[in-house]
Amino acid sequence: MDAYNTFKEWQAKGVVTPLDDCEVGKTYNVLCIWGKLNNRGWYPVIPFLHRDKDFFNLDHYHNETRFLSEEKRISLNCDNRTASVIDPDNKVRFGKMAVRRMKCVSSEIGGLPLVAAGKRSLMHPWFEKMEGKPCKGKRCPHQGSNMVDRGHGLLECPLHGLFGDAKTERIISRDKAIKKLQKLATV
Ligand code: FES
C-alpha cells in the first residue's frame, strides 16, 4: 500500500489534501485505484480504509465523488444517491493504487449528496442514533475519520454522511444540516 503511505506522509506535512480544501476546477493529489470496470481507468478514493460493523463486514474504501467523472459514476453504478464502495481485495475489478493529479469536478462529498435530503433511507435510524455524539477536532465519532469543513458552521463526514456543528463539536441532524446547505445554495 505504498501510495496510501505516500498520501499519509503528504497529509502529515500539510502538502496537499483534497479532503479539506477542495475547489471545483482545481487539480489536486488524489489517492486512486486502477479499476477494470466498464470504463477502465483510475478511480479516486478517500484515503481511509475501514470496515463498518454497522453496515457490512468488509474492508473497503469509498470513492471520492468530488473527483469522479460522470462516466466513472456510471461504471461504478453510483447514481448520485448511494455511496459506491471499493474493495481493494477484489483483484478482478480493482488493481494497483497510486497518487494521481485529478481535477475536482463537484462539491458533493461522499456518496450521500444533498439531493438525498429529506428522503428516508435505511440509514436514517442510524443517523438519528448518532446525533449528539462528540466530533472533537473534526474527528467523526463513527470511524475517527476527518470531517470536512463545509463552512456556515457545518462539518460533514465524507464517508457515511454524518454532520457536525463546528462550534459545539457534536453530531447534529443530517436533514437539518442539508436543508441549511440547500437554503444557502439558493440565496
Ligand atoms: S466514518 Fe462513518 S459517518 Fe463518519
Cell 493504487 belongs to 97
Q: Which three cell numbers stand for residue 112?
A: 450521500
Q: Which three cell numbers stand for residue 87?
A: 474493495
Across the strands, what pairs with 29? 101
pLDDT tens per residue, range 70-114: 887 777 765 544 456 677 777 777 888 888 999 999 877 764 555
Q: pTM here?
A: 0.77
Of 43-57, 83-97, 152-166, the range with the lowest mean pLDDT is 83-97
Cell 476546477 belongs to 25
Instruction: Kindly give, in sequence order, each residue whose CB lies less than 8 Å from that of residue 104, ignoring residues fewer than 6 positions away.
Output: 18, 22, 23, 24, 25, 26, 27, 28, 66, 67
- Residue 178 CA to residue 57 CA, distance in Å, equals 28
Q: Considering the chain, what percentage of its residues have pLDDT values greater than 90?
A: 18
Give the strand order in the sheet containing 148-151: 148-151, 154-156, 163-165, 170-172
Integer angstrom CA distances of residue 77 from 64, 86, 97, 179: 14, 12, 21, 26
Q: How far is the CA of 59 from the centre of ligand 1 (A)?
A: 14
Q: How far is the CA of 139 from the centre of ligand 1 (A)?
A: 9
82 φ/ψ sector (left φ>0, alpha ψ -120 to 50, else beta): beta
Q: How far is the CA of 153 from the centre of ligand 1 (A)?
A: 18
- Residue 26 CA to residue 148 CA, distance in Å, equals 17
Ligand 1: lining residues by beta carbon, under 6 Å: 140, 142-143, 145, 157, 159-160, 162
Task: Name the residue of 48, 53, 142, 156 to mutate for ligand 1: max ligand atoms within 8 A of Cβ.
Answer: 142
- Residue 62 CA to residue 55 CA, distance in Å, equals 14
Residue 120 φ then ψ, to 5°: -65, 130
- Residue 93 CA to residue 37 CA, distance in Å, equals 6
What is the structure's pLDDT at 68? 85
Which residue owns the Cα nearest ligand 1 atom 3? Answer: 160
Q: How far is the CA of 158 from the centre of ligand 1 (A)?
A: 7
Asked if pLDDT for residue 182 goes beyond 90, the answer is: no
pLDDT tens per residue, range 116-140: 555 666 778 888 999 999 999 988 9
Asked if pLDDT for residue 19 goes beyond 80, the answer is: no
Which residue owns the Cα nearest ligand 1 atom 2? Answer: 160
